[in-house]
């Protein structure tokens, strides 16, 4: 392997109990962030949009993926198309809104080149006087698209990595069973609540925080009330297939210990009264509890800035009943708020000389070392 942005001497080897983190610059250097955009977010599968957010024909969303803006739109036949959000004439951004609905076409606001919802160039001023222009050739640039868990995943790579061998394999590796996640039926759940957090921290700090529970006893009193084993500092993600058991006093996964909304129909007994957390690199967390599913999507926008969209998903019947979701949503909203405050408290220190060589991971955090190796390898120069 050749040099990476993270290579370089360390002050001292930390010893067997403590392993080194990435150095501080990995969380602050704009050049590192740019390389992550190029080598990670623009090459891996990226969870962009909840499919149901594109409710009908003409509904669109724009999403920043690495350095690119991607436009997802539902066509007249109900299929979603993904393209780069760039006009093929002189490069103006086609849709400047984050979301909206168009009628039948997408029209560039600069010189009015007009595209069908399938991306084909359909009209342009004076196009009739340019018979040599191939409308197919001048259509929008397509982006690879895949639907899974009710979300639309995109990949900007020319030849994307296998979705099965990367995203789905990561879920199977964590849960130890390829069918365990399917049983929650996430694709058929409905959005009960979405909260978007503007986190002033590097995306890797958010991932690292999610992967460990060494902090749970300190900052998550409500969560450790429901999941007492988290107070011991071992994250559920430390063990393959392990879900954290609910406290005997907790009727459901709620902020006040009250009951939730009944067990999702596909679950087996081993999944009842347990919480499972999955990290699907690079930017998705999935949280599984018996009556709902919580999905975090991260949208890194700068070395020190990450938007996190958190969705709470329930059976459609629960939402139709008008049930009060507050005790259910409030538990993980507090966890999110506590976690992101911790990340924001850490971010400024990444620039300190105290953290030039990084920090250390205690044994219950050692699995974060695998994440650091994954990032480091992804940023390494391609073997020649």
Nearer Cβ to Fe ion, position 108 or 343? 343
Q: Report what 339 binds from Fe ion, ligand FES, none; CB cut-off 5-8 Å by kind.
A: Fe ion
- Residue 138 CB, nearest distance to ligand FES (Å)? 11
CB 95 within 8 A of CB 106: yes
Query: Pattern of binders to Fe ion over 339-378, x per CB under 5 A?
Result: x---------------------------------------
Minimum CB distance to ligand FES, residue 110 (Å):
4
CB atoms within 10 A of CB 344: 15
Choose the one of Fe ion, ligand FES, none that binds residue 110, judging by a C-beta under 5 to 8 angstroms depending on kind.
ligand FES
Q: What is the DSSP letter of 231?
A: G
* Class of residue 2 by CB neighbours under 10 A (exposed 0-12, middle 13-18, buried 19+): exposed
Q: How far is the CB of 239 from Fe ion (least distance, A)?
A: 17
Nearer to ligand FES, 92 or 169 (CB): 92
Pick from Fe ion, ligand FES, none: which does 92 bind, CB < 5 to 8 A by kind?
A: ligand FES
* 29 contributes a contact to Fe ion by CB under 5 A: no
Identity of the residue, 92 or 187, whose beta carbon is nearer to ligand FES in the bound complex: 92
Report the nearest approach of ligand FES to the CB of residue 113 (Å). 4
Q: Which is nearer to ligand FES, 89 or 281 (CB)?
A: 89
> Which residues on neighbouring strands pair with residue 298, listed in sequence order?
308
Q: Which is nearer to Fe ion, 339 or 357 (CB)?
A: 339
Which of residues 18 and 92 has its CB atom nearest to ligand FES in the complex? 92
Residues 310-339 that bind Fe ion (CB under 5 A): 339
Q: Which is nearer to Fe ion, 37 or 287 (CB)?
A: 287
**CA separation, residue 307 to residues 9, 147, 294, 302 (Å):** 33, 22, 16, 10
To Fe ion, the closest distance from the beta carbon of 26 in angstroms equals 21
Q: Which does 367 bind (CB under 5 to 8 A by kind): ligand FES, Fe ion, none?
A: none
To Fe ion, the closest distance from the beta carbon of 281 in angstroms equals 18
Displacement of CA 11 from its chain's centroid (Å): 34
Q: How far is the CB of 204 from Fe ion (least distance, A)?
A: 15
CA 74 to chain CA mean position, Å: 21
DSSP string, 135-185: TTTTSPPB-EEEEETTEEEEE-SSSPPPHIIIIIHHHHHHHSSTTTTGGG-
Q: How many residues does this entry show for the chain? A: 384
- Report which of 195, 255, 250 is spatially closest to residue 220, judged by C-alpha positions: 255
The whole-angstrom separation of Cα 107 and Cα 85 is 11
Question: In whole angstroms, what is the distance from residue 9 CA to residue 28 CA?
Answer: 18
CB 97 to ligand FES: min, Å: 16
CA distance 337 to 220: 10
- Residue 347 carries which DSSP code? G
How far does Cα 135 stand from its chain's mean position? 35
Question: Minimal CB distance to Fe ion: which residue?
Answer: 339
Residues near ligand FES (CB under 6 A): 87, 89-92, 108, 110-113
Q: Between 113 and 314, whose beta carbon lies closer to ligand FES?
A: 113
- Least gap, CB of 343 to ligand FES (angstroms): 39
Q: Nearest to residue 357, comparing CAs of 6, 31, 10, 4?
A: 10
Q: What residue 90 binds from Fe ion, ligand FES, none (CB within 5 to 8 A, per partner kind)?
A: ligand FES
Cα–Cα distance measured from residue 297 to residue 280, given in angstroms and rounded to the nearest whole number: 10
**Cα dist. 342→157, 203, 353 in Å?**
34, 13, 20
Contact between 206 and 366 under an 8 Å Cβ cutoff? The reply is no
Nearer to ligand FES, 110 or 239 (CB): 110
Residues that bind Fe ion (CB under 5 A): 339
């Amino acid at each position: 392997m050749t040099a990476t942005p993270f290579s370089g001497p360390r002050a001292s080897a930390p010893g067997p109990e403590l392993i080194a983190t990435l150095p501080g610059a990995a969380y602050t250097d704009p050049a590192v962030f740019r390389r992550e955009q190029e080598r990670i977010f623009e090459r891996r599968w990226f969870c962009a949009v909840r499919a149901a957010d594109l409710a009908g024909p003409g509904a669109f969303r724009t999403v920043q993926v690495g350095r690119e803006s991607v436009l997802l739109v539902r066509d007249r036949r109900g299929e979603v198309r993904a393209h780069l959000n760039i006009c093929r004439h002189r490069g103006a951004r086609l849709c400047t809104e984050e979301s909206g609905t168009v009628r039948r076409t997408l029209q560039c606001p600069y010189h009015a080149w007009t595209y069908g919802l399938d991306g084909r160039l359909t009209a342009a001023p004076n196009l009739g006087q340019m018979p040599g222009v191939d409308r197919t050739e001048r259509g929008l640039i397509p982006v690879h698209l895949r639907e899974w868990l009710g979300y639309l995943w995109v990949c900007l790579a020319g030849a994307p990595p296998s979705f099965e061998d990367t995203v789905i394999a990561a879920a199977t590796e964590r849960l130890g069973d390829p069918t365990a996640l399917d049983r929650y039926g996430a694709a058929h759940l409905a959005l009960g609540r979405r909260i978007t957090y503007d986190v002033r921290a590097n995306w890797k700090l958010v991932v690292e925080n999610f992967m460990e529970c060494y902090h749970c006893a300190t900052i998550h009193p409500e969560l450790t009330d429901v999941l007492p084993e988290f107070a011991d500092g071992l994250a559920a993600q430390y063990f393959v297939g392990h879900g954290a058991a609910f406290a005997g006093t907790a009727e459901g996964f709620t902020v006040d210990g009250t009951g939730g909304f009944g067990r999702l129909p596909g679950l087996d007994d081993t999944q009842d009264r347990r919480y499972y957390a999955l990290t699907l690199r690079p930017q998705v967390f999935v949280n599984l509890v018996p009556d709902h599913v919580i999905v975090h999507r991260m949208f890194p926008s700068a070395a020190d800035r990450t938007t996190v969209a958190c969705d709470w998903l329930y059976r459609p019947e629960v939402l139709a009943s008008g049930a009060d979701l507050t005790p259910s949503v409030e538990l993980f909203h507090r966890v999110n708020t506590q976690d992101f405050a911790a990340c924001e408290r850490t971010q400024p220190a990444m620039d300190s000389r105290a953290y030039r060589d990084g920090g250390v991971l205690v044994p219950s955090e050692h699995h974060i070392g695998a994440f650091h190796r994954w990032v480091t390898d992804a940023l390494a120069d391609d073997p020649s």
